[in-house]
Structure 1
Amino acid sequence: MKPSTSRHESSARCPRCGNAFDCSRHAQPFDCWCREMPSLPAERLDPAGGCLCPECLAAEIARATQGRPPGGALP
């Protein structure tokens, strides 16, 4: 996903890579794309960090399932 300068109401910026993406975290009822992804363990979550984009969230889920530290690089 490429960075975008357009900012919609559901637009967010990934704290890890800086890419803009659609986030429906505050939608009522909650209906965000991330709901379909596997959950991260609580120790992997950074409440102050904001939501990750689809690519960074998928990478973090992969690291979690392989037992790597949060934010660690994949080979």
Structure 2
Amino acid sequence: MKPSASRPQGSARCPRCGNAFDCAMHAQPFDCWCREMPALPPERLDPTGRCLCPECLAAEIARAAQPEPGANSP
């Protein structure tokens, strides 16, 4: 048995926390749970990075929504 045979197709591992989660990034048509979440600003995306799990993606979205320290300072 191949090592990947024990994991369902579409199963991924989060690069931040290591949790397994379902990912449909490469499904055709694209229909993944992440489409329902707010988009990250382009400067927060890592085109070479792997997908985050729902919890880590939600945390990254929350961080992105917070203003940068000193951003509104004169």
Band of TM-score, shorter chain = 0.7 to 0.9
Q: Between Structure 1 and Structure 2, whose CA radius of gyration is higher?
A: 2
Gap runs ≥5 in structure 2: 1-5, 69-74
Find the residue that maps to 1:59 and give its secondary structure: helix
What is the Cα deviation at residue 47 of structure 1?
1.6
What stretches of structure 1 move > 2 A for 4+ residues in a row?
none
1:42-63 CA distances to partner (integer Å, 9 max, x unpaired)?
1111122110000000000000
Find the residue that maps to 1:67 and give its secondary structure: coil
Matching residue of 2:63? 63
Structure (1/2) with the larger helix percentage: 2
The number of residues matched between the two structures is 63
Find the residue that maps to 2:21 and give its secondary structure: strand
Q: Partners of 1:31 and 1:56 in 2: how far apart?
A: 19
Q: CA RMSD in A?
A: 1.1
What pairs up with 1:4-15 in 2 under 5 angstroms?
A: 6-15=6-15
Q: TM-score, normalised by structure 2?
A: 0.80
Q: Partners of 1:67 and 1:43 in 2: how far apart?
A: 14
Matching residue of 2:41? 41
